[in-house]
């Protein structure tokens, strides 16, 4: 796949758009991931951030964790570079054979597959109520906050951003603490819901 576009969405988050070879398709379910195959046989797994119907390119959200691959992406990678990918993988995808309300919980770049699920649900006309919780440390980490707010403004879903380490510079008046705690406060009983959670293992 060719790197079509690189966009720095936050100081440590890069949005990558990958173009598949001509006449190639990668059928996948919203929420699944691909592996990037690196030199030396190592792999890095990244969820598709776009819904399957929007397959002109594959969109990946990469956080800079400081490792060799992060350093390559944030320091050396250029548009038009070629990447080797394998996929799709994973059983994290929207279960459409249910009428239960949906609670989506993301931390950090765990927002990527959650975004794909929401966009798929909206495109497919799935009428189930959806509530999105996105937990980050500081305001800048909510790197697609305007998109999530637009979903709420258009009454597609309810959106609850939560910051765990908000600073005075954030001027934050929203929810604080850990995102899973906010979910538990709002939904003391989740047995009637489907929950999709992606991000920090402790949160999941």
Q: How far apart are CA 20 and CA 3, in angstroms?
A: 9
Q: Where do we find the tokens 């649900």? A: 121
Q: Evaluate if pTM is beyond 0.75.
A: yes
> What pLDDT was estimated at residue 179?
97
Burial of 70 (0-12, 13-18, 19+ CB in 10 A): middle
Q: What is the pLDDT along the chain (204 residues), one digit of tens a residue?
A: 999 999 999 999 999 999 999 888 899 999 999 999 988 888 999 999 999 998 789 999 999 999 888 998 999 999 999 999 999 999 999 999 999 999 999 999 999 999 999 999 999 999 999 999 999 999 999 999 999 999 999 999 999 999 999 999 999 999 999 999 999 999 999 999 999 999 999 899
Residues in the chain: 204
> What pLDDT was estimated at residue 68?
86
Q: How far apart are CA 24 and CA 58, in angstroms?
A: 12
Contact in structure between 64 and 143 (CB atoms under 8 Å): no
């Amino acid at each position: 796949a060719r790197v079509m576009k690189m966009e720095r969405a936050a100081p440590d988050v890069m949005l990558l758009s990958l173009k598949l070879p001509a006449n190639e398709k990668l059928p996948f379910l919203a929420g699944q991931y691909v592996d990037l195959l690196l030199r030396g046989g190592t792999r890095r797994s990244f969820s598709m951030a776009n819904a399957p119907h929007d397959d002109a390119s594959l969109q990946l959200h990469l956080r800079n964790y400081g490792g060799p691959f992060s350093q390559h992406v944030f320091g050396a990678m250029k548009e038009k570079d070629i990447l080797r990918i394998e996929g799709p993988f994973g059983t994290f995808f929207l279960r459409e054979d249910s009428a239960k309300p949906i609670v989506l919980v993301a931390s950090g770049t765990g927002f990527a597959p959650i975004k794909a699920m929401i966009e798929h649900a909206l495109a497919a006309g799935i009428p189930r109520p959806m509530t999105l919780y996105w937990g980050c440390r500081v305001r800048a980490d909510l790197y697609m906050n305007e998109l999530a707010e637009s979903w709420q403004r258009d009454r597609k879903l309810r959106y609850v951003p939560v910051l765990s380490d908000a600073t005075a510079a954030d001027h934050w008046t929203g929810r604080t603490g850990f995102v899973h705690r906010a979910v538990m406060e709002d939904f003391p009983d989740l047995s009637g819901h489907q929950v999709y959670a992606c991000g920090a293992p402790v949160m999941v």
